[in-house]
Amino acid sequence: MGSKTTLQSHVSEEDNNDSMATAQTPTIPLLTPYKMGNFNLSHRVVLAPLTRQRSYGNVPQPHAILYYSQRTSNGGLLMTEATGVSDTAQGYPETPGIWTKEQVEAWKPIVDAVHAKGGVFFCQIWHVGRVSNSDFQPNGQAPISCTDKPLAPQIRRNGIDVAQFTPPRRLRTDEIPGIVNDFRLAARNAMEAGFDGVEIHGANGYLIDQFLKDQVNDRTDKYGGSLENRCRFALEIVEAIVDEIGADKVGIRLSPFADYMESGDSNPNALGLHMVQSLNKYGILYCHVIEPRMKLAYKVFECSDSLLPMRKAFNGTFIAVGGYSREDGNKAVAENRADLVAYGRLFLANPDLPKRFELNAPLNKYNRDTFYTPDPVLGYTDYPFLETA
């Protein structure tokens, strides 16, 4: 599906021609074009999904137009922040949804603004599962999960607040098709809002990841136990969405190696491999995987595990993310370890990140204090562009 690139293809014919070589700066691997299915991307620097907690009442707000369009380049790929599939999907204040007509309408001008600048825009669809408490749930009910095992309270990233989680209610087997259907409807709504496709959020300890990981999933029905059974929920969602909108518009995010929200697995290599081999049967567009070195959120640990076996086994476009700099993003593309590289914190703080990479310009530093401030709307849209830096 995707065109795999090797180092040779970044050294253009012209680089061997003296007259051209003096006239042109050689293109760095990250800034070479790439054909992802039907999408002609002009470069490989992807905006990673970034939750910003400023979609009041779960409705995207007009200020998101500025945030996303600032980060749009012609032929660049962007993912939205995680976006809830239903009224049971929330676990954080003021995160957007895509299950009501009002939410779909609110996304439209944001999508239009990205398209007006030539961007390719995927909506990351999400259910938090047990990473929630009853305050976020309809009628104050317990959050749902594959399990009834509770999460321990956690210090939030501001280092002060403590997130409390209500013990979840284990979904009955006969309820699971309903949740799969929520994902299907969310994907349909995303297309109605004008998105180019959806990214299924199967990472970071949220509902799908809770089913995937043996540290969390303690079910004894067909959704628990063996690797095949633990992957069943994720793959039923993939199948439902592929049937609804077409495989060429479907991506998935996975983090087999990560332990976020007490969601470790005893054999992440086998889990990752089984998932990509199963995904091949559906022919989905891309797989977006978090590096093993990001075992804990936002902290890089060097480790011997690698995404290479998953990359080699997957037939579609492979996107890597997690702790990438300009230099090692270039290396990953040049060595064919990834087709595209997603950037979270660097893109957050540098709206013109592809341009800065092109010029090897200095980068703005991100300000952690404004990652999750719902009001006033600070951070994200006030980082300077290169010209004004």
Ligand X SMILES: Cc1cc2nc3c(=O)[nH]c(=O)nc-3n(C[C@H](O)[C@H](O)[C@H](O)COP(=O)(O)O)c2cc1C
Set 34, 68, 206, 223: catalytic member:
206
> Which tokens hold the place of 353?
């990140």
For ligand X, which residue of 321, 332, 333, 340 counts as binding (CB under 6 A)? 321
- Confirm whether 206 is a catalytic residue: yes
Residue located via tokens 């014919």? 13
Q: Is 323 in the site for ligand X (CB under 6 A)?
A: yes
For ligand X, the binding residue among 2, 45, 51, 232 (CB under 6 A) is: 51
Helix axis angle, 227-245 relative to 268-280, nearest 10°? 30
Q: Does 253 bind ligand X (CB under 6 A)?
A: yes
Question: Is residue 47 a contact residue for ligand X (CB under 6 A)?
Answer: no
Q: Compute the C-alpha angle 122/381/83, nearest 5°.
A: 30
Under DSSP, is residue 64 helix (H, G, I), strand (E, B) or coil?
A: helix
* Backbone conformation region of residue 219, classed left if phi is above 0, alpha if psi is from -120 to 50, else beta: beta
Examine residue 34 and tell whether it contacts ligand X (CB under 6 A).
no
SS3 48: coil
Torsion angle defined by CA atoms of residues 173, 175, 180 and 186, in that order, rounded to the nearest 10 degrees: -160
Choice between 180 and 321, CB closer to ligand X: 321
- According to DSSP, the residues that pair with 76 across neighbouring strands are none
Q: Is 371 in the site for ligand X (CB under 6 A)?
A: yes
Nearest approach, Cβ of residue 326 and ligand X (Å): 11
Residues 169 and 149: their CA atoms lie apart, in Å, by: 9
Minimum CB separation from ligand X for residue 124, in Å?
6
Size of the site for ligand X (CB under 6 A): 22
Site string for ligand X, 66-105 (x = CB under 6 A): ---------------xx-----------------------
Site for ligand X contains 322 (CB under 6 A)? yes
Q: Which of 60, 49, 56 has the alpha carbon at shortest distance from 103?
A: 60
Q: Cα 20 to the chain's mean position, in Å? A: 39
- Of the pair 51, 103, the CB lying nearest ligand X is at 51
Length of the chain, in residues? 389
- Among 137, 204, 263, 317, contact with ligand X (rule: CB under 6 A): 204
12 vs 370, beta carbon nearer ligand X: 370
Annotated active-site positions, please? 206
Which residues are near ligand X by CB under 6 A?
A: 48-51, 81-82, 124, 201, 203-204, 253, 290, 294, 321-324, 343-346, 371
